[in-house]
Amino acid sequence: MTTQPALTLVRGDLTEQHADVLVNAANSSLLGGGGVDGAIHRKGGPAILDACRDLRASRYGKGLPTGQAVATTAGRLHAGHVVHTVGPVWSREEDRSALLVSCYRESLVVAAGLGARSVAFPAISTGIYGWPMDDGARLALRTVREETRSPVTDVRFVLFDADAYAAFERALAELDRSAG
Ligand code: AR6
């Protein structure tokens, strides 16, 4: 028997969520930035940056490669951990979908390794990194649906604005239709 994590769409700010894991749309420096990343460091406090600096001084001297994921403390956020992942920058010339799929998959693997049951994701790469929202939503939802053996039971996508929420709603309806 296979089980699928329950998928929920939420409109709002990721940093307000209560979950075992909050996923950060980071960059490979792990040292902060704008968007979700900026909000996570602002609200989570300096403990997150300290942990990221430790990672840069040890396992990830050259930075976290695109498509991979790593955990730190969640500082003052309402979560057990933050899992940082680096999405691909969208490109017209090159299909980087496999890297975006890898972000979701690897984040779930890291979360499962921490014993997490609930994971909240932003729409990775769809902000500063320029990924078209409809395609980003399709890839995100399809990837999570394929994780039929993950111990994570609750996956939430936290969408910042009405357009992002609508794109995820459409993609979820499409996925449900194709699943019959
Ligand atoms: N909660 C939920 N979603 C948010 C929030 C929030 N607080 N803030 C923005 N979004 P982005 P990326 C949405 O730019 O495209 C950073 O500088 C946003 O509207 O955060 O992966 C990093 O350091 C968009 O739909 O991440 C990297 O350099 C989605 O979250 C770079 O940005 C992702 O937007 C990563 O770019």
Domain parsing of the chain, residue ranges: 6-178
Over residues 86-99, mean pLDDT: 98
Tell if the pTM clears 0.95, that is, is over it.
yes
12 Cα: distance to centroid of ligand 1 (angstroms): 13
% pLDDT > 90, the chain:
93
Active site residue 37: yes
Ligand 1 pocket, 150 CB below 6 A?
Answer: no
Distances (CA, A) of 160 to 1, 135, 174: 35, 17, 21
Question: Quick one: pLDDT at residue 5?
Answer: 86
Tell me which fold the domain 6-178 belongs to.
Answer: Leucine Aminopeptidase, subunit E; domain 1 (3.40.220)
pLDDT at 2: 57
C-alpha 47/C-alpha 23 separation (Å) is 16
DSSP string, 71-127: EEE-TTSSEEEEEEEEPPPP-SSS--HHHHHHHHHHHHHHHHHTT-SEEEE--TTSS
